[in-house]
Each structure stands twice: as structure tokens, then as C-alpha cells.
Amino acid sequence: MRLIFAGTPDFAVPSLRAAARHNEVVAVYTQPDRPAGRGRALTPSPVKREAIARGIPVLQPENFRSAPAREALRALQPDLMIVVAYGLILPQAVLDIPRFGCWNVHASLLPRWRGAAPIQRAIEAGDTETGVCLMQMEKGLDTGPVLLAQKTPIGPEETGGELHDRLAALGAQVLADGLGLLRAGIRPVPQPQPDAGVTYAHKLEKHEAKLDWSQPARALANKVRAFNPWPIAEAELAGERVRIHGAIALDERVAAAPGTLVRASRDGIDVACGEGVLRLRTLQREGGRPVSAADYLNGRPQLAAAGA
């Protein structure tokens, strides 16, 4: 087969490796190089770096609105286009070019969590299960029929970064399974998504990182997990803004107002919430690095005394 791969971030790299296993990927599409780092130098995407290392030609159009961009794709005579976190909405004219259309690897169990941030939104919502879907792409946002799916539990303390890595590997496996069927002359049967249970995973925004102590502790603990490694939860703690990399919810009733320091020890710093208590276990001061609660208290010993 002649495969085209379209993807951009780290999440897509395992799928590219799976697609390229039989040397069938004739070209890789990825987002144009973007400024990154302190020097704002143009930086290639993780997918571009992987493609170059494998000797696969790379194309980086801004979009597919122009006829030349579509004709360049058509000239590659693709049997199938595989799309994984590419970052562009593909028009119907592009979806129609490959012989078998376009497949998408999506990090949720559709129709739950269509959209940009399915991994983080699943954790934030307190979901205990998620997975990946191999979907036949349509013009709508993640609305196409599902070809293959694989479920996986979400660990009670699993972070967005940890789940991201697991689902990237799981997505590559599901893609490999689908390609294996296609090579054998078996087209996976498309299963239309049900109308019930549709939810949207909106893009993460930096302002969402600020914790509101009036919310339940369990909801805040989920946010801390979901927003690690980005944008990282932050809050006011005894007059200081801190970033919170790790926390757990304690199901206990306290009379203190939300945001009040309840106790502080080497096990964690406990803060009253609208419901329950949030135990902060890994914190980061302004300009510092993430440290354990015990090390944080070494720098603010007055908190240990206040929460004793």
C-alpha cells in the first residue's frame, strides 16, 4: 500500500512508527516549523524529526485550501491517509483523495470526548475508563464511524502526561491492527457513533489552571492530575502563589473556610475545600523546581507551625 501519514506532536510518533513498519509511508504531512524555546527559533515537530530520521519525505502546507496543495497530495497516489493529532481540519476534497479515505487515531472512546483535549478532559471529569478509537474520517469533528477501539482503565492517581503516553502506544497498536486487516484484504467494518453520550473536549487554556478552593477536593485533585504536565495547576497557599504538581483528595469534614490551611506535615499540606480536604504532595514555588511537601515546608517552616 501507499500510505500518507499526517501528524504533529509526540502523541503521533508511535503511530508513525507503526505505519512505517513495512516501508509503505511515501510521505509525511506535519505542521510548519514553529518558534519555540527562549530563543524562539523555528523548531520542527516531533513527527517531522521522526520522518527525517526514517528518510521519509516531509510536506508542511499551511492548509489544504489551495488547489496546488491538494494536487500535491493527489500526485502521491495514496491508498490511505492516516491522521493522528495533525492540527488541521481536512476538507472533504482531501478526505476523498485516498482510495480507502482517511483514518484517524483518536484518544477517547467516541462519541465521548470529541475534540482537542480528550485525555485531559477525561481525567478532569473523573472518568475511570478511556481508550482509543480508529475512526473513518468525515467532514465533522470526530463524527466518523469507528473501525476499531480499545479500552483501558484510568489509574486513580494517573496524570495527563502518563495517560498520554499510554494512549499513544495503545493508539499505535490499534492502528497496526487496522493496517494488518487492510493488508489481508479485510476492510474493518465502520460502526456509526451513537447519538447518545456525545461530549466535547475543548482545548486546554492557561487560565483554567488556577484552582478555586470553593470547589470539592475531589474535583480539584482531578484537575491537578489532568493539568500535569501542562498547564500545571496553581493556587494561593498562605499568601504565596504555588504550582501544584501532585495532590490527593481526603474525604473528611472540616469547619474551616475553603482555602484555609488545615494541617501541614511531611505527608502533605492539607487545605480546606468546598467539600473535603485537598492534600498537596508536590509543589513548586515561583522560580523554583517541583519539590515534595516536606521540602517545601523546609522553606516555609511557619506553615508547619500554623497547621500543627
Asked if 286 and 241 touch (Cβ cutoff 8 Å), the reply is yes
pLDDT of 280 higher than 70: yes
**Cα–Cα distance for residue pair 122/127, rounded to 1 Å:** 5
For residue 281, what is its C-alpha cell?
Answer: 504532595
pLDDT of 308 higher than 50: no
* Fold of domain 3-201: Rossmann fold (3.40.50)
Could you give the C-alpha distances from 299 to 70, 115, 160, 239, 296, in angstroms and in order?
59, 42, 28, 14, 5
Architecture of domain 206-306: Roll (3.10)
pLDDT at residue 39, rounded to an integer: 84
For residues 211-229, average pLDDT: 98
Which residue ranges make up each domain of the chain?
3-201, 206-306
Alpha helices in the chain (DSSP H): 13-19, 46-54, 67-75, 92-95, 118-124, 160-183, 217-226, 293-299, 301-306
Mean pLDDT of the chain: 96
Q: How confident is the model at residue 38 (pLDDT cuts 50, 70, 90)?
A: confident
- What is the tens place of the pLDDT at every residue in 188-207? 999 999 999 999 999 999 99
pLDDT of 293 higher than 90: yes
In this chain, the answer to whether the domains covering 3-201 and 206-306 adopt an identical fold is no
**Cα–Cα distance for residue pair 70/42, rounded to 1 Å:** 25
pLDDT of 244 higher than 80: yes
Per-residue H/E/C for 108-129? CCCCCCEECCHHHHHHHCCCCE
For residues 83-104, average pLDDT: 96
pLDDT at residue 165, rounded to an integer: 98
Please calculate the CA angle 36-38-39 and round it to the nearest 5 degrees: 80
pLDDT at residue 103, rounded to an integer: 98
**Residue 110 marked ligand-binding:** yes
pLDDT of 186 higher than 90: yes
Share of the chain above pLDDT 90, in %: 93
For residue 196, what is its C-alpha cell?
Answer: 447518545
For residues 238-258, average pLDDT: 95
**Residue 111 marked ligand-binding:** yes
Q: How confident is the model at residue 276 (pLDDT cuts 50, 70, 90)?
A: very high
Q: How confident is the model at residue 306 (pLDDT cuts 50, 70, 90)?
A: low
pLDDT at residue 109, rounded to an integer: 98
